[in-house]
Structures are given as structure tokens and as C-alpha cells.
Amino acid sequence: MARPLDGVVFAPVADQAPGQVGRETRFAYREEAGRIWAEYAGGDVVRGFLVGTRTGDVLDFRYVQLRPDGTTASGHCTSTVVELPDGRLRLEESWEWESGHGTGTSTVEEVPRA
């Protein structure tokens, strides 16, 4: 199993569609006893939250976010935690909107600490 996510900050490796997560978005993860949560913001996301569970290297969580135009969106995501050769973590994600139509995949990687 890859190391814990507690205190790890992730950033997307590519932009998603407009109004969604992009390269400027930062996810600050926490983890305790198989429970995960994160706060995120940046780009087209004013503020977002996710909460769920971790079993081995698989995350299962729900997310909700506030957009600059005042609308909200929510969905479900499953992610696989992968440890990169340089020791950083990557999350390979499959997500689906629950507040609207659409599914997709994305990748976020650990931001190196300064």
C-alpha cells in the first residue's frame, strides 16, 4: 500500500472542461483510519470538499464544489493511489457528476514541498 495521504497536496496534471478542476486547483488531503477528506480550490473552483474512504490503494468519495458563478456541482469519484518512482503520489481518478450529466477520468499528482 502506498503511504498515507494525510497532509499531501495534489494538483491536476491537465485542465478539465471549463467550470471544473484545472491545473490551478489544489487539493489538501487528510487521512485517518481509512477515512479521507480534502478541501480544494483554484481555477474555476471557488471552494470544494470531498469525503470518503480508503481501502488499500483505492479511494471512494463524494465531492461538492462552488463555482465562480455561484452554482454548485457534486459527484462521485474512485481513485487509485500510485507511488511514482520519485516517491511522490499520483491519484488516477474515474469520476461522474451526480448533479448533472457527465463522466471522465483525471490524474492528480503530489505537489513537491518547497
The CA distances from residue 97 to 41, 56, 57, 62, in Å, are 18, 24, 22, 10
The CA distances from residue 28 to 22, 41, 112, in Å, are 15, 9, 13
88-107 pLDDT per residue, tens: 999 999 999 999 999 999 99
32-49 pLDDT per residue, tens: 999 999 999 999 999 999
69-82 pLDDT per residue, tens: 999 999 999 999 99
DSSP-assigned beta bridge partners for residue 62: 51, 76
Instruction: Answer with the residue of higher pLDDT: 74 or 17.
Output: 74
